[in-house]
Chains A and B, each alone.
Chain A
Amino acid sequence: MFSPSKGVEGHGGTTIIARGVKLEGEFNSQSDVLIEGEVHGTLSTSGLLTVGPDARIKADVSAGEAIVSGTVEGNFVVSKRLEIKSSSKILGDVSAETITVESGAILSGRMMVGTKGTAPEKSATGSSRRERNASAATTLLANER
């Protein structure tokens, strides 16, 4: 632990919620964010959001870009690129301009690609062909497991 006589290193402009720390409430940021701990509430950043493999997020999330390796329970809206790594588990609707999904990732929810980060509509009847294709891809990935 640091003490009055010790100190801590700087990390540039990145916000870090590390393992062993819990964030509750409405978090907004303009900079890059790294989550390794727990988040409950809402999480929003216009920068890059990185969700580490040990992270547990129970929140609606919006980000400029995102790389996910951990668990997210909630809707996920990304303006540009979303990378879903093999260790990730997302329970909620996902939308982004481009989405990359690694084999082994768990996704439960609707996926919208090429939407520039607009939240998926609630109505099931309004699905576009692109959305249906993405949903099919998700099912395939789930079946692979």
Chain B
Amino acid sequence: MNPAFAYIYDELCSERRLEKDVSLLETELSRRGIEGRIVRLAMFRQPKDVVFELMRGPVKNLVFVGNDLTLQKMMPFLPDVDVTFGYISLSPPSALAQHLGIPFGAAGVDAVAARLVETLDVGKINDRYFFTEVVAPEMRASLDIEGRYRLQPAEGGAIAIRNLAGTSGKGCSHPQDGKLEAFIQARVEPKGIAFWKKSALSESHIFFTHGTLSSEKAIELFVDGQSIRGNSFSLSVLPRKIRMITGKQKGWEVNSASLVRKGIS
């Protein structure tokens, strides 16, 4: 057993449908000499307690095994832990694994074994960290950017603040640029005399380092998929805050390369 590695299995790894995948994963880890202590999450076991307990030992690489939701539920406290994180996805949703360039299933062991480590930005909303995105579904709110200007959908709209990407797998922001990206979807009337058409959606897009999302009424936001409520939310980015094991085909590098090919950047 390699004491530098530890693995946290999500509850879903105990499901019968994943038995073969887990077995194959453990065989591969053993074959490569990176098998380590395994801790399984359970209903009454707080993920934070599990992680901090493991940190008392000589662990240098902590790998989460499960799906995107496993990684998302760890994110509120991971930036405070001084260790390199890894992630192996055995079940959908797995868009985050794709963005990080980690192959799906037991093939993800290749990425862990190669140990290509990148330091990535983390977003912060009020006192809470987020890794992927914050989504404010349709509502009336405004986004104050760096105290210099304010953006507001005239007829209401939805706002997403992204550090990396959503769980849908669409698009991928660069988590090493020291910036957050805001996407504002506003409802707009159809152009010209096409009155029979339904109103369309426009999409605005800006980059920023800190700002405030506010609304007169309390609104519900989804932070890494978890719901929070409030009137005012301060947003910021913490550049290069966590170390993560990634694969070779990272989503943000693929995005940049395709934009360069199109002559956009």
Binds B, one of A19-27, A75-83, A91-99, A121-129: A19-27
A80 to chain B minimum Cβ distance, whole angstroms, is 18
In the bound complex, CA of A10 to CA of B188 (Å): 20
Given known pairs A13-B264, A25-B150, the reply for A18 and B202 (CB within 8 Å) is yes
Q: How big is chain B's contact interface, by range? A: 35 or more
Q: Which residues of B contact A17 (CB under 8 A)?
A: 151, 204, 206
B177 to chain A minimum Cβ distance, whole angstroms, is 9
Given known pairs A4-B222, A10-B255, the reply for A21 and B204 (CB within 8 Å) is yes
Q: Which residues of B contact A20 (CB under 8 A)?
A: 153-155, 157, 186-188, 202
Q: How many of chain A's residues have a CB under 8 angstroms from any CB in B? A: 34
Instruction: Verify A21–B158 contact, CB threshold 8 A.
Output: no
In the bound complex, CA of A38 to CA of B152 (Å): 10
In the bound complex, CA of A36 to CA of B205 (Å): 12
In the bound complex, CA of A16 to CA of B167 (Å): 23
Interface string of A1-43 (1 = CB under 8 A from B): 1111111111111111111111111111001000011100100
In the bound complex, CA of A70 to CA of B181 (Å): 26
Q: Which residue of A lies closest to B203 (CB)?
A: A18
Q: Which residues of B contact A9 (CB under 8 A)?
A: 170-171
In the bound complex, CA of A22 to CA of B181 (Å): 17
Instruction: Verify A8–B183 contact, CB threshold 8 A.
Output: yes
Given known pairs A12-B259, A26-B148, A36-B202, the reply for A1 and B171 (CB within 8 Å) is no
B221 to chain A minimum Cβ distance, whole angstroms, is 9
Instruction: List the interface of chain B (C-beta within 8 A of A).
Output: 133, 135, 137-138, 148-155, 157-158, 160, 162, 165-173, 181, 183-188, 191, 201-207, 222, 225, 255, 259, 264-265
Q: Which residues of A contact B201 (CB under 8 A)?
A: 1
B205 to chain A minimum Cβ distance, whole angstroms, is 4
In the bound complex, CA of A3 to CA of B168 (Å): 10
Q: Which residue of B lies closest to A42 (CB)?
A: B149
Instruction: Verify B203–A8 contact, CB threshold 8 A.
Output: yes
Instruction: Verify B265–A2 contact, CB threshold 8 A.
Output: no
Instruction: Verify B186–A8 contact, CB threshold 8 A.
Output: no
Q: Which residue of A lies closest to B155 (CB)?
A: A20
Q: Which residues of A contact B158 (CB under 8 A)?
A: 1-3
